[in-house]
Amino acid sequence: MPTFSGILHFVVTLFAVQSSTTINISIPAPNGSIQIPRNLIGFSLEQDRWVDWAGLDERNQFFFNVLDNMKAISGEPPIIRIGANSEDHTNFNPDVQSPQLVFPTPNAVTPFPEARTIVVGNAYYQAVRFLPPDTHVVWGVNFGAKNITAANLEARAIVEAFATPDVKDQGIILDAVEIGNEADLYRDNGQRPRNYTPAQYVEEWTEFATNVSTAIGITEDSHTKFWGASFATSSHANTNGFSPQSIFENGLLDSKAGSFISTITQHHYSGTFCSGGGKLLQDLMTKETIRSNLTSFASDAKAVRDQGLDFVMGETNSYSCHGAPGVSNSAGAALWTLDYALFSTQIQSSRIYFHEGIGFKYNFFQPIALNRSILDASPLPEPIPPHVQPQYYSAIIALEAIGSHPQPRIAELQIEESTVSGYAFYEDSQLVRAVFINLKAFLEGQEEERGKVHLKFDFVGGEVGEEVTLKRLDIAHADDTDGLTWGGQSYETSDGRVSGTLKTEKVKLSAGFDIRDTEVVLVSFS
């Protein structure tokens, strides 16, 4: 005779397996739908080791391939931001061929620290020629050192690199120059006094931008503009705190140089690992947390757009200080990334740039061989070759869901199930695809049976075909760090190209379908 605890376990498991929800989807694009760029996901690269990403004397073919995969899906390569923390530690010397880097000692919390001193020459900037054709780039110059001459030298070298035939002939374009990274933290890291204010930032930025714009020829008619702010945090108000509202109030846009700003960028991480400490994977993968992290910037985005400027999340990822081990590099982080990226459109962020650095735990891909562990800096018995990490699949899925139509639109779907997110995608204002993400973490060693949610649909404003095509991101466990497949195919290959036979499912829409815990399903409507 079964025990009470055994019966209870059966009932709980049965409930988890049989959970069901009905989702309303509009056939025509609803009024709240938002135009979404085909290359929604960009990358922010720590610039100290830029030539490890791109190559110095020859192309890093692995890095090229993983970017080119994305271009093949969307029709546009991802936009690349080169800068971040090391942006404010870089100086230019025309006599330097290979970058001269001085690093802190690696430790268990930061196995691959950023260089504290960086000296580069023209070859460093000219490596931009190794990016995929038609790539757009944002490049940062040193503001932290408060040396206008140094910033001008860098900016000139950047612009000269983009003017070389090897770069121009491929359509690789400099979209913007970013002056400084996270100036709101200068008062904490010693680069400015402790009482540094937004008004002082605006005054200094205007002086730098005026000089840089003159040095490199930024005008009303030039394609290249400025990115402004790049703050690590936001006070979300027009007070004395650092925020878009505050710097607007202090006159950022009032100068001629300020009129050359095209974009205001904010940075955000879902937590921190700067002092070590564990983070639960399910905490990262929580639907409510993902939304609250981003909606806190809604007022900033509105203030920026009210000025006729673009708002972007210019540097973001899971946990700051390069990620949390066993969390940021896990398959569950791929689901967080997908939901986070797609939901960012709902606060009117134009694009989202996920931060990457050599050996960082939260990377979408590691572009070079690594000889020590990204988790604790311990030596590896043999180097790990270049490879993609789980988050890369989220970029591929997002781009497939958005598609290559010139003006796709997105609408978040309202789903009562607290662990399931969904988005509908439209072309010519008609429903073409939807993606569903089950954010409940199914972990290795978990005794309970893997849960699933049955999805059914009510359609509004039209009809779709009786049969739909499903494509699934298959993940064994949320805490796995490899072994994922997207539609039966893998990007975990030596060259970063996809391998394996594509697998999809045809299902009757009237019957609905199941989505397992820790799974993504892309639905293509006929």
Phi-psi region of 303 (alpha: psi -120 to 50; beta: other; left: phi over 0): alpha
Is the pLDDT score of 403 beyond 90? yes
- SS3 of 459-502: the string is EECCCCCCEEEEEEEECCCCCCCCCCEECCEECCCCCCCCECCC
Section 329-336 average pLDDT: 96
> Band of the pLDDT at 240, cuts 50, 70, 90?
confident
- Which has the closest alpha carbon to 323: 266, 290, 284, 291? 284
**Cβ–Cβ < 8 Å for 87, 140:** yes
CA gap 264, 205 in Å, rounded: 13
Q: With b meaning 16 or more CB within 10 Å and e meaning fewer, what string describes 490-502? A: bbbeeebebeeee
Least confident stretch, 10-24, 236-250, 274-288: 10-24
Q: For position 12, what pLDDT does the model report? A: 43
**Cβ–Cβ < 8 Å for 86, 113:** no
Is the pLDDT score of 501 beyond 70? yes
Q: For position 14, what pLDDT does the model report? A: 43
The secondary structure of residue 415, as a DSSP letter, is: -
| Structure token digits, residue 406 | 């010139």
Using one digit for the tens of pLDDT, what is the confidence trace for 251-303?
999 999 999 999 999 999 988 786 655 568 998 999 999 999 999 999 999 99
Q: For position 1, what pLDDT does the model report? A: 43
Q: For position 361, what pLDDT does the model report? A: 96
Dihedral (Cα; 188, 189, 194, 198), 10-degree rounding: -80
CA gap 359, 377 in Å, rounded: 10
Q: For position 275, what pLDDT does the model report? A: 62
Section 487-497 average pLDDT: 98
pTM above 0.85, yes or no: yes
CA gap 337, 316 in Å, rounded: 10
> Band of the pLDDT at 401, cuts 50, 70, 90?
very high
Beta strand spans in 142-213 (E): 173-179
Q: For position 285, what pLDDT does the model report? A: 92
- Which has the closest alpha carbon to 311: 300, 321, 322? 300
**Helix 331-344 and helix 391-402, axial crossing angle in degrees, nearest 10:** 40
The secondary structure of residue 28, as a DSSP letter, is: B
CA gap 104, 388 in Å, rounded: 26
- Other C-beta atoms closer than 10 Å to the C-beta of 211 total 17
Say which residues have a Cβ less than 8 Å from residue 24's Cβ, sequence separation at least 6.
413, 414, 457, 458, 459, 460
Section 170-188 average pLDDT: 97
Using one digit for the tens of pLDDT, what is the confidence trace for 505-526?
999 999 999 999 999 999 999 8
Beta strand spans in 222-309 (E): 225-231, 261-272
- Other C-beta atoms closer than 10 Å to the C-beta of 170 total 16
Q: For position 280, what pLDDT does the model report? A: 83
- Other C-beta atoms closer than 10 Å to the C-beta of 19 total 17
CA angle centred on 158, ends 157 and 163, rounded to 5°: 95
Section 95-99 average pLDDT: 95
Say which residues have a Cβ less than 8 Å from residue 374's Cβ, sequence separation at least 6.
111, 112, 325, 329, 359, 360, 361, 366
Is the pLDDT score of 230 beyond 70? yes
Using one digit for the tens of pLDDT, what is the confidence trace for 422-431?
999 999 999 9
**Helix 198-216 and helix 148-162, axial crossing angle in degrees, nearest 10:** 40
Say which residues have a Cβ less than 8 Å from residue 111's Cβ, sequence separation at least 6.
322, 359, 372, 373, 374, 375, 376, 377
Is the pLDDT score of 7 beyond 50? no
> Band of the pLDDT at 3, cuts 50, 70, 90?
very low
| Structure token digits, residue 41 | 């996901």
**Cβ–Cβ < 8 Å for 311, 248:** no
Is the pLDDT score of 5 beyond 80? no
CA gap 297, 294 in Å, rounded: 6
Using one digit for the tens of pLDDT, what is the confidence trace for 359-395?
999 999 999 999 999 999 999 999 999 999 999 999 9
| DSSP codes, 30-96 | PTT-EE--TT-EEEEEEGGGHHHHH-SSS--HHHHHHHHHHHHHHSSPPPEEEESGGGGGEEE-TT-
Domains of the chain in sequence order: 4-33+408-525 (2.60.40.1180), 37-402 (3.20.20.80)
**Helix 287-295 and helix 331-344, axial crossing angle in degrees, nearest 10:** 40
CA angle centred on 294, ends 190 and 441, rounded to 5°: 110
**Phi, psi of 290, rounded to the nearest 5 degrees:** -55, -45
